[in-house]
């Protein structure tokens, strides 16, 4: 290995860094929150530094080279979660000490390739993007690398178990939570540094795992110019939307809850109201649940979310589980769409109830908040203006990435890992 000790400052005499960025899965197309954050940060990083992007999986159609100097994939097939192969992997995982979401992406080939790159290129920075690749990395690599935690993964499993309806689901998710909590804590301690996406996540990780290698957090970013002008488009009265990948468990749970507990009373009292669920791969069970309501539409995968936002009057973020921060909230704010969110849905963002959005955690509260926004154009305008001025404009991707590089390269304080 090129380095035997923890990286403290870049070892290149030039300000241009050699960066090895490791991820499970690609970033193109950037059609999920995690992909989008990584893609935009890589583009900003690539403008000033040499980036070698190494990922598990395979490039998707249309993959482009605007985010790295070199892009490399290590083949790995992860079965679709509704397939028989996935079911067998899940059954086999019952006898593993590791959570399924990490076992699925474990790759000896990735670990070997990282060692080769480190010996040959001696990168200034090694970034483990999400916890998922960490189990594949040799300990010597982890000890000089930065773990970029988009979520505190155990928190997602804990909340999933708490909201599960059947005893079997509660038992299974509780088991996954315990495994994730144990392994997330152990792996996080191995890294030279940990960077999160919110102060709350940093505090939670330090408290839960006793970490002394957390060097800070980077804000969630957004491209304001990409959504310019959407708020000026004519809006359809009562048009409500949800924006998010519909193959991510917290989004599935949130929309199931909203469709069952909140939407029926809104649509009954306001026949003009309609709900558009914008996001890839909605589960058939959820689509079937809404099939009797003509006011509900699932778009599935879309090439560009912006046309689907142009006539939207209100957005909802009814998340009950999850972690990290919500990129989609920033995109909705950049588009000028007022938001009703649960507290969990908006956590990690510097927002205030009644100033930047409305917070509602029970079905009655969410129903009342949606109806209030439908009938109050002045409130919609005030929320939009405050959100764009105070939340969106300070959150450019270039500034976020500069903060990330600063946290990744500044000398470690005494007592840090």
Residues 285-302 pLDDT 10s: 899 888 777 799 999 999
**11: in domain:** no
103 and 238, same domain (yes or no): no
Structural domain span for residue 322: 224-392
Same domain, 68 and 153: yes
Backbone angles phi, psi at 87, to 5 degrees: -60, -45
- 248 shares its domain with 287: yes
* Structural domain includes residue 110: yes
Is position 4 within any domain? no
**195 and 269 in one domain?**
no
Domain count, the chain: 2
Query: Do 201 and 248 lie in a common domain?
Result: no
pLDDT digits (tens, 9 = 90+) for 322-358: 765 578 999 999 999 999 999 999 988 899 999 999 9
Q: Indicate the angle between helix axes 153-163 and 167-190, nearest 10 degrees.
A: 170
Percent of residues, the chain, with pLDDT higher than 90: 78
Which of 96-100, 139-143, 164-168 has the weakest average pLDDT?
A: 164-168
Indicate whether 261 and 215 sit together in one domain. Answer: no
Q: State whether 203 and 101 are in the same domain.
A: yes
In the predicted structure, residue 165 carries a pLDDT above the cut 50: yes
- 55-59, 213-217, 272-276, 393-397, range with the lowest pLDDT: 393-397
Mean pLDDT, rounded, of the chain: 91
Residues 349 and 318 both lie in one domain: yes
Is 417 inside any structural domain?
no
Cβ count within 10 A of residue 188: 25
Give the model's pLDDT for residue 61.
Answer: 63
Residue 5 in any domain: the answer is no
Is the pLDDT higher at 324 or at 12?
324
Q: Which has the closest alpha carbon to 32: 329, 246, 330? A: 246
Look up the pTM and report it: 0.79
Question: Is the same domain home to 294 and 376?
Answer: yes
> Is residue 307 one of the residues assigned to a domain?
yes
Question: What CATH number has the domain bearing residue 370?
Answer: 3.40.50.2000
Q: What is the structure's pLDDT at 292?
A: 75
Q: Is the pLDDT of residue 382 over 80?
A: yes
Contact residues for 104 (Cβ-Cβ < 8 A; gap 6+): 78, 89
Tell me, yes or no, whether 39 and 86 share the same domain. Answer: yes
CA angle 215–12–7, rounded 5-degree value: 30
| 366 to 371, 373, 385: CA distances (angstroms) | 9, 11, 22
Mean pLDDT of 209-237: 93
Q: Examine residue 163 and state whether it is found in any structural domain, yes or no.
A: yes
| Residues 60-110: tens digit of each pLDDT | 766 677 999 999 999 998 888 889 999 999 999 999 999 999 999 999 999
State whether 169 and 248 are in the same domain: no
The answer as to whether 254 is a domain residue is yes
Considering the domain architecture, whether residues 286 and 373 belong to the same structural domain is answered as: yes
């Amino acid at each position: 290995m090129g380095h035997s000790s923890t990286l403290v400052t870049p070892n290149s005499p030039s300000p241009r860094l050699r960066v090895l960025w490791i991820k499970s899965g690609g970033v193109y197309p950037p059609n999920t929150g995690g992909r989008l954050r990584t893609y935009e940060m890589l583009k900003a990083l690539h403008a000033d530094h040499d980036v070698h992007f190494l990922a598990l999986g395979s490039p998707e159609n249309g993959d482009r080279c605007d985010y790295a100097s070199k892009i490399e994939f290590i083949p790995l097939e992860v079965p679709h979660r509704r397939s028989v192969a996935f079911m067998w992997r899940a059954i086999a995982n019952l006898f593993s000490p590791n959570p399924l979401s990490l076992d699925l992406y474990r790759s000896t080939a990735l670990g070997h390739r990282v060692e080769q790159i480190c010996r040959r290129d001696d990168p200034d920075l090694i970034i483990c993007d999400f916890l998922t690749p960490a189990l594949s990395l040799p300990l010597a690599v982890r000890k000089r690398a930065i773990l970029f935690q988009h979520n505190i993964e155990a928190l997602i499993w804990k909340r999933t178990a708490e909201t599960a309806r059947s005893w079997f689901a509660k038992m299974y998710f509780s088991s996954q939570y315990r495994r994730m909590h144990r392994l997330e804590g152990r792996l996080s301690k191995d890294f030279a540094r940990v960077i999160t996406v919110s102060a709350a996540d940093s505090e939670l990780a330090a408290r839960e795992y006793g970490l002394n290698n957390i060097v800070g957090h980077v804000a969630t970013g957004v491209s304001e110019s990409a959504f310019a002008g959407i708020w000026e488009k004519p809006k359809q009265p009562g048009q409500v939307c949800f924006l998010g990948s519909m193959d991510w468990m917290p989004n599935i749970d949130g929309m199931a809850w909203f469709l069952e507990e909140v939407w029926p009373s809104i649509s009954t009292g306001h026949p003009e109201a309609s709900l558009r669920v914008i996001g890839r791969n909605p589960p058939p069970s959820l689509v079937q649940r809404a099939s009797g309501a003509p006011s509900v539409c699932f778009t599935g995968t879309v090439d560009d979310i912006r046309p689907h936002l142009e006539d939207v009057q209100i957005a909802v973020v009814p998340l009950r589980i999850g972690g990290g921060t919500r990129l989609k909230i920033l995109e909705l704010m950049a588009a000028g769409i007022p938001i009703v969110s649960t507290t969990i849905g908006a956590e990690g963002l510097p927002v205030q109830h009644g100033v930047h959005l409305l917070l509602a955690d029970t079905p009655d509260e969410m129903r009342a908040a949606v109806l209030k926004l439908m009938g109050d154009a002045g409130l919609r305008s005030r929320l939009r203006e405050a959100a764009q001025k105070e939340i969106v404009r300070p959150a450019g991707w270039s500034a976020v990435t500069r903060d990330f590089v600063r946290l990744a390269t500044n000398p470690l304080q005494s007592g840090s890992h």
